[in-house]
Amino acid sequence: MSQHPIHLVCGSTGAGKTTYANRLSVTVGGVVFSIDQWMTALFWMDSPSPIQADWSMERVRRCNDQIWTVAAKVPA
């Protein structure tokens, strides 16, 4: 099995992470897995108001787990 690099992009809110990740994915022929996209699609509509940190972090953990499960299936 060949191994491919994983590029982890992190930084402050509004720093351009998504823009950079999208450009990088085009350059290297990669796939972007954005926690923000997953959280918005799966949980935003059900989020409590005001937002609760423990509620959010549990869902972030679930999304992270699922992202790694799906990423492992991306063909080499």
Residue 31 included in any domain: yes
**Whether 34 contacts 24, CB under 8 Å:** no
Residue 38 included in any domain: yes
Residue 61 included in any domain: yes
Structural domain count, the chain: 1
Residue 3 included in any domain: no
Q: Which pLDDT score, from 0 to 100, does residue 73 have?
A: 86
- Domain hosting 63: range is 17-71
Residue 11 included in any domain: no
Residue 62 included in any domain: yes
pLDDT by residue, tens only, the chain of 76 residues: 557 788 999 999 899 999 999 999 999 999 999 988 999 999 999 999 999 999 999 999 999 999 999 988 887 7
Inter-helix orientation angle 35-42/53-71, to 10°: 110
